[in-house]
Structure 1
Amino acid sequence: MYNPSSLRSLEQERHQMRLAAPVLSGYLLRKEARGTSSRQTVGNPPMVCQDPVVQNALYTGNVQAVKEIFSKGFPSDLVIQPQGGAMCWRANGKVRGLWSLTYEQELTTPLHITAGRGFTECLQHLLMRGARVDLAPGGTTALHEACEECQPECVKLLLQHGANPNATNEDGQMPLHVCTELDSLECAKHLLAFGALINGQSLDDNDTPLHVAARHSLPDHMELYLRHGAALNLQNEEGNTALNAACSKPQDCASLERYSRVCHMLVSAGADIHISDADKQTPLHMACKNANPDVVDLLLKYKALVNEMDYGGDAPMHNILKAVAYKTDHEPERIVQALLNYGSIRVWPGALPKVLKYCCTSPRTIEVLFNAYDRLKITEAWVESVPPEVFQKHREFYESLFALMQTPRSLQHLARHRLRTFLEGRLHNVIPKLGLPTFLKNYLMLAFRDYMH
């Protein structure tokens, strides 16, 4: 039960207002000139509160206690100032620096706390008591907080009470920009229903919501934004479109399929696959770097330039070969195979031992790449490039490869190489139309056999 003394302690905080005002002003006025601001400076400065009774009521969502505390005549625009000790490095004029214990202050409000935790009843009471819905002493609004924490009912409630759907936080992001989780879809729907800008760009990075959805592989968000007229080819600060953003994001095996879905949606909707970023890297460069074979197949199907060079002089083939050692679970061999079948440049023969050394953990990558040559000048240096443990794990394949040191390539392989050379750059179009048996067609397209002949 909360006694009157606890409530009186809050009133005693009022004398801190004069001291706290400069601190709060710094938070409230920061980046004010950067466009639509989330700071609200109209009215009296809010009261600073460190009382644990109030904090406990808010953080636990205790509706009865919140209604008791924030009753008639009590301010609902508190600034909550929890404190915690932390070791920080402090520079010193006489010595290089010292570790010292300081107290970090994270300014928040009752609205932020309740909105971010989904305490809708508490939130509604505070809003009915007149809490300023866009107050942002810590640099972000309660609406941002609710979107980040995927609390759609709180998002809707805040918007119904006049929250600005296009307010910017201290990082220059609007609420749609912080909808980065699959569960934030309903939040995004509410924001758009209340006038959020579908092509609003963040102040620092010039990202649109479509960039964010693509980067975080959110296909349902993507469908929603495209339905509301999202611009496909807007470029951000780094020159990336939404498609570039999806292709450039590092991807683990579990997320490959989602990123593939996102890229299919963007390309099908008309995204330009040829737009490059500030380093002249195209979506194909990026998809190869992150070893997503389905996205590479998609981009090649839509006529991505297989031999385009970035500012570093790298073609897509260079990017995938650099990634093989770290992406063996992503089937990098499929990407090398696809690039070669679409006419990619090959590695200079003198560099093949180096490629073998760095890509040996993926024997299928070695197989498909080396089968693009009519002959291989294998030496003892090649054998030494493969660590013993890798050789033992893939013994059958590497024995077949190193056997070519004394044996020429088969006539069958030489005929394949001749035909591939004649059809270079057209293989993917011509071979399917020749009516060849499946085995022969696959052989010409460098299908994997797990040995060299």
Structure 2
Amino acid sequence: MPGRRSSPPHWGHHLRRFPSAPACRLWGPQSYEAWEPPRPLPLLCRDMALQNALYTGDLARLRELFPPGSTADLLLECQAAEPRWTSHQRGLWSLTYEEELTTPLHVAASRGHTDVLQLLLRRRARPDSAPGGRTALHEACAVGHAACAHALLVAGADPNIPDQDGKRPLHLCRGAGTLECVELLLRFGAKVDGRSEEEEETPLHVAARLGQVELADLLLKWGACPNARDVEGRTPLLAACDARCTSPADAEATTTCCLQLCHLLLSAGADADAADQDKQRPLHLACRRGHAAVVELLLSCGVSANAMDYGGHTALHCALQGPPAALAQSPEHAVRALLNHGAVRVWPGALPKVLERWYMSPRTIEVLMNTYSVMQLPEEAMALVPPETLQKHHRFYSSLFALVRQPRSLQHLTRCALRTHLAACLPQALPRLPLPPRLIRYLQLDFEDVLY
């Protein structure tokens, strides 16, 4: 038909115009200057041969389907990753996989088919097209395909454009090519402190929250702000300290990663005592997650052990209310560090609750009890500990319940008196006392696995 643009071969009736493309684009600072004629609307393609070639990266077949002069400015329909509740009639809902729109460029970028992606760009595929809410650059960065990201950036892809969730490509970088993708984005003008639209997170927040130490280091070298705050007032340091262990098996790795991030952020000038909107500080979160080494690091920076959040909780409360997974991270070390830095002791009436929660960690019970001159437990407290635990830790629990309402040893009473006298300067004064190292450790509540 005269004047009608021909379609690439083999597509026929599988193509139709997509109605939402922009009508025109103006160029130059004023509207009367040169402007580009309306670009043809993108075609919706349902040709399975084309889609199969795209998903498998069949470059030879795609060269046939996209000969010189053809366009790759197409739309494809794909199934959503998760089923959604939809209603086609009033009151009738069904759980179905909705069809979503994507482009050949998105498919190539998400699968790392760099040669295919370059062919599509030569055939006039638009690098910033986002029919489903994400651009192809988002897709490439989300799976760490650095070569695809580079090709898109060279073709003019915007490194700062947000997706449907308000996240920029820098927020999404994952996978083996994460660092390379991030460096490419920054070299091509991505804002190192660009915010996500809803959470107002910077890329450094995301790196800290996900435990990506090398990525955080790279972002800081490019000038990322270590004290940026998200919509809840959280800094990257707070995000790092809130790292959770999914299981006891990964507890050590999570704590190590968290410690490395905290060292990195603090050396870059992060505020060790910055509070969020709920007045939670890094120390609160590190205690709640059981990161004992991070607790000791933060205390060494001079943060207060007795600062309260809006709920009236101190760091010691947070440590003793931690999840069961914290058992694998030796909570007794965090509790001891807090007590040696002047943390206010637990109210004696709450000790039975602590025993009931932490009976599987005798050293946590030991370090708490060694801050009192009298064992303030009711006689029926033995019933709070299961028989198998009493048997497993027989020596400790025998000594504990033998001392209920009984006087402690003179040596222990002397320790309590000295610690009380030095309360205001306990962490600084104890190491300086002219005493043998073993006695210093005793004053610092060293573990003995028995109570006297």
Q: Name structure 1 gaps, 5 residues minimum.
A: 1-5, 26-41
CA deviation string 1:351-407 (max 9, x = no partner): 101110011111111111111111113333210111223222322221121111374
Matches of 1:425 and 1:388, distance apart in 2: 41
Q: Is the 8 A contact 1:118 1:151 kept in 2?
A: yes
Partner of residue 29, structure 2: none
Task: Report the secondary structure of 1:21's partner residue.
Answer: coil
Aligned-pair distance for 1:187? 0.5
Partner of residue 173, structure 1: 167
**CA separation of 1:417/1:407 partners in 2, compared to 1, >3 Å: closer, same or farther?**
same
Q: Choose the corresponding residue for 2:75, options 68, 79, 94.
A: 79
Partner of residue 413, structure 1: 412
Matches of 1:122 and 1:290, distance apart in 2: 46
Matched pairs, number: 427
Q: Name structure 2 gaps, 5 residues minimum.
A: 1-6, 23-37
Matches of 2:76 and 2:159, distance apart in 1: 23
Matches of 2:19 and 2:357, distance apart in 1: 60
The one-letter amino acid paired with 1:412 is Q
Q: Is the 8 A contact 1:400 1:452 kept in 2?
A: yes
Moved more, 43-52 or 258-267: 43-52
Kindly indicate which of the two structures has a greater share of residues assigned to helix: 1
Partner of residue 117, structure 1: 111
**CA separation of 1:135/1:317 partners in 2, compared to 1, >3 Å: closer, same or farther?**
same
Partner of residue 302, structure 1: 301
The one-letter amino acid paired with 1:235 is R
Partner of residue 35, structure 2: none
Task: Report the secondary structure of 1:173's partner residue.
Answer: coil
Q: Choose the corresponding residue for 2:61, options 56, 65, 69.
A: 65
Aligned-pair distance for 1:92? 9.2
**CA separation of 1:182/1:397 partners in 2, compared to 1, >3 Å: closer, same or farther?**
farther
Partner of residue 247, structure 1: 241
Task: Report the secondary structure of 1:207's partner residue.
Answer: coil
The one-letter amino acid paired with 1:264 is H
Matches of 1:452 and 1:113, distance apart in 2: 66
Q: Is the 8 A contact 1:86 1:101 kept in 2?
A: no
Matches of 1:425 and 1:221, distance apart in 2: 40
Matches of 2:148 and 2:304, distance apart in 1: 47
Aligned-pair distance for 1:57? 0.9
CA deviation string 1:317-356 (max 9, x = no partner): 1111011533100111110000000001111101101110
**How do 1:170-209 residues align onto structure 2 when only pairs under 5 Å count?**
170-181=164-175, 183-209=177-203
Partner of residue 140, structure 2: 146
**CA separation of 1:420/1:324 partners in 2, compared to 1, >3 Å: closer, same or farther?**
farther
Q: Is the 8 A contact 1:49 1:80 kept in 2?
A: yes
The one-letter amino acid paired with 2:109 is A
Could you state the TM-score of these two structures normalised by the residue count of structure 2? 0.89
Matches of 2:323 and 2:351, distance apart in 1: 14
Task: Report the secondary structure of 1:361's partner residue.
Answer: coil
Q: Is the 8 A contact 1:324 1:332 kept in 2?
A: no
Q: Is the 8 A contact 1:50 1:80 kept in 2?
A: yes
Q: Is the 8 A contact 2:84 2:97 kept in 1?
A: no
**CA separation of 1:58/1:94 partners in 2, compared to 1, >3 Å: closer, same or farther?**
closer
CA deviation string 1:285-326 (max 9, x = no partner): 111111111111111111111111111111111111011533
For the pair 1:314 / 2:308, whether they are aligned, the reply is no
Task: Report the secondary structure of 1:107's partner residue.
Answer: strand
**CA separation of 1:149/1:324 partners in 2, compared to 1, >3 Å: closer, same or farther?**
closer
Indicate the RMSD between aligned Cα atoms, in angstroms: 2.3
Matches of 2:80 and 2:173, distance apart in 1: 29
Question: Identity across aligned pairs (percent)?
Answer: 46
The one-letter amino acid paired with 1:21 is P
Aligned-pair distance for 1:181? 4.8
**How do 1:46-445 residues align onto structure 2 when only pairs under 5 Å count?**
46-83=42-79, 89=85, 98=93, 100=94, 102-181=96-175, 183-251=177-245, 252-253=250-251, 254-323=253-322, 325-405=324-404, 407-445=406-444
Task: Report the secondary structure of 1:48's partner residue.
Answer: strand
Moved more, 389-398 or 199-208: 389-398
